Amino acid sequence: MTELTDFQRKTAAFFPEISLSFGESLAKHTSFRIGGPAEVMAFPKNGEELSELLNKSALLDRKPVILGAGTNVLAPDEGLPGLAICLKDCLDGMERVDETHIRVMAGVTMTRCAMFAAKEGLSGLEFAHGIPGTIGGGVYMNAGAYGGEIARVCVEAELMTSTGVRYTRTREEMAFSYRHSCLEETGDIVLSALLELTPGDPEQIRQRMKELQAKRSASQPLNYPSAGSAFKRPSQGYAAALIDEAGLRGYRVGDAAISEKHAGFAVNLGNATAEQVKRLLADVARIVKEKSGIQLEPEVRVW
């Protein structure tokens, strides 16, 4: 067995009741299937354990990184020193609050949430069915698709500061904009979201979700590991169209490639590294800028 580092020993002593893993592969926890080992990965079971991790981690002298479902993250090949907190199986649960509202814990996937709303006869989350990732990540980056986005339905978010203190923000206080919320500046964590929806016919809602899922399957490279859309939509035009017009469909750097099926996706063809993906994104942005004059910004969070 490999000898533990000082940080691993100290973390184990600080958190004897919390599930920890040493040298856990980040590739196992990201949809790109890329990333080296995390020095320590913690798996809190609830908000109390998360608060304890955040509160005490200040004494470890290393700011922890927060990992949700890992569907929008490019993790480094060399791994991460310090503490990574994995929330994918933490903060679970949904409830109907009244005629139009549901409260959803941050660890619930967008797809599960959409299915719950449909079962309850509530419309407004059809767009979220099929979006990879969790409600927490969706609120953090104002996820959206097919004309819908979290900002339109999230009326309040319960949050936690980097020191473990709980508080709430209203939709207006969240400063939502395209693929953005104030949390990108504050670094605070989503615990739950209160969503306002519209009563509707469950069968019609499910039918709309089926239509959108069929559209996704037909147009997106779901058979390869990726992090969804590689670039944000620019103010002029669409990223996928600009990439296509630049002749970059299928462009490769090692096993990192622009999808042949959808030019807006960067995919892992098998053994892509984080460095290859970063070079791919940089090459594509540079060539599109040269050909169109439009600067593309990555939507993928590069750690």
Q: Which of 57, 181, 192, 229 is catalytic?
A: 229
Active-site residue, from 179, 181, 192, 233: 179
Query: Is 229 a catalytic site residue?
Result: yes
To the query of whether residue 123 is one of the catalytic residues in this protein, the response is no
Q: Which two tokens stand for residue 132?
A: 């990879």
Q: Is 152 a catalytic site residue?
A: no
| Secondary structure in 3-state letters for the chain | CCCCCHHHHHHHHHCCCCEEEEEEEHHHHCCCCCCCEEEEEEECCCHHHHHHHHHHHHHHCCCCEEECCCCCEECCCCCEEEEEEECCCCCCCEEECCCCEEEEECCCEHHHHHHHHHHCCEECCHHHCCCCCEHHHHHHHCCEECCEEHHHCEEEEEEECCCCCEEEEECHHHCCECCECCHHHHCCEEEEEEEECEECCHHHHHHHHHHHHHHHHHHCCCCCCEEEECECCCCCCCHHHHHHHCCCCCCEECCEEECCCCCCEEEECCCCCHHHHHHHHHHHHHHHHHHHCCCCCECCEEC
The residues that are catalytic are 179, 229, 299
